[in-house]
Amino acid sequence: MLTLRTSTLIFFAVAVVLVSMFCAKLARNPGYVLLSYRYYTLETSMLVGFLSIVLLVVLSIVGYRLTVWLFDSNWRRRMANRKTMRGLIAYAEGNWPQAEKLLSRSAGNNDAPLINFLAAAEAAHQQGKTEKRDDYLLQAHETIPGVEQSVGLAKARFQILSEQWESALATLRMLKQNPKSPGYPFVLKLLAQTYNELADWPALRDLLPELQKQQVLEAAEFDVLTQRCLEGQLAAAVRGTTEEGARLNLRGVWDTVPKKMRYNADLILGYAQRLAEAGASKEAEEVVASFLRKNWDERLVRLYGTIQSPDPAKQLQHAEGWAKEHPMDAALLLALGRLSLLNQQWEQAHRYFESSLNARKSAEACGELGRLLASLGQHDRSNEYFQQGLAMLAQRLPVLPQPKAAAATAEETVSG
């Protein structure tokens, strides 16, 4: 069955052949044509007259077709724009099936098809139709020139929303190769998010200078991301290695910490704690002591009391110096009690633990005092403190149904 296009081509081919034959015949016997209107006459050869008529007919047909095409094209464009508007309204209302239908069908004749394809891809994504989503992005890439960066960013964003981190990383690394693109800062932001989720701390650390240069994040956001990266590097430094390797890795990471972040309590806590666990207790003690001389953080005070440095007497002396400025600090008194134990000063440890409990009740202080009294043979008093500590821990438990007999026994234990 012949199509309309094929039939038209055959018609024109036959017409050209017939006209050519007729023109050849006229060339041998030209004749003439005379046109007269009032006082005007026009005389020409039969061949020229015939060709003029043919040209006039052809121009009329072409003009008619062009007029119809322009009218039809404008009509299709107006209809596509209306569908696009309805599709965007459905998109804003969260009517994803309707939005996808209207936006995808009107993309071909719309003035801005990229908007249609990207919004249709979003609507498909919201419905879990990942293949259709990717198909819309592919259509946009293939039919619209110069939109590689926009389509790539949309693709990466969808991959991140689907938690396809490895795929997102591959897409973003490709987009990062075009630093002059207007969307380059957003590429960096998504790349930082992806590195963070993948815990690729070295890569994130290398990206930080570019993030700062492009002013992708606010200052506070940048500091939080930097801290997160450094904390991740510190945690990774001790993973899967020997104590000596851990110490070397930790020092290597710390040497790269920016000067303004070296007095960040969270970083100091993570660094010193891991140093102590890796056998570098002297270095850990010095790091914490240096911080506490100028700043005060209860978490670091508690950590200081657990570090067993090679010189516990000097460590105790440092802590006693801080007690002059913080005489009723419960965490410091607990740390002093523990350091007194390291120096085998039992009575002094006893006093510090009791002072810590007087300043603020804590399960830790009860446990330490109970353990000390048990070692000194004072079991009755020891049990009292152990029970107090257990009671404080029990207060943190959620309220849940218990067997009546067990609940009664527990109440007697606590009250006794």
Q: DSSP secondary structure string, 41-75? A: EEEEEHHHHHHHHHHHHHHHHHHHHHHHHHHHHHH
Give the residue with greater pLDDT, 28 vs 380: 380
Residue 393 lies in a domain: yes
| Cβ neighbours of residue 113 closer than 8 Å, sequence gap 6 or more | 107, 140, 143, 144
Residue 115 lies in a domain: no
Residue 411 lies in a domain: yes
CATH number for 395: 1.25.40.10
Residue 352 lies in a domain: yes
Mean pLDDT of the 300-309 span: 96
Residue 399 lies in a domain: yes
pLDDT digits (tens, 9 = 90+) for 326-368: 999 999 999 999 999 999 999 999 999 999 999 999 999 999 9
Residue 364 lies in a domain: yes
Residue 195 sits at φ, ψ, to 5 deg, of: -60, -40
Mean pLDDT of the 237-254 span: 93
In angstroms, the Cα distances linking 252 to 230, 235, 237, 256 are: 11, 13, 9, 7
Residue 149 lies in a domain: no
Please tell me whether the overall predicted TM-score, pTM, comes out greater than 0.85 for this model: no
∠348-353-356 over CA atoms, to 5°? 125
pLDDT at residue number 315:
96
Average pLDDT, the chain: 85
Q: Is the pLDDT of residue 415 over 60?
A: no
Placement of tokens 């890796």 in the chain: 278
Number of domain units in the chain: 2
Residue 410 lies in a domain: yes
**DSSP states of 216-277 as a string?**
-S-HHHHHHHHHHHHHHHHHHHTTTS-HHHHHHHHHHHHHTS-GGGTT-HHHHHHHHHHHHH
Q: Which two tokens stand for residue 414?
A: 């606590």
Which among 44, 59, 74 is the end of a domain? 59
- Among 184, 81, 345, 320, residue whose Cα is nearest residue 192: 184
Rounded Cα distance, 382 and 384, in Å: 5
Range of the domain at 397: 335-416
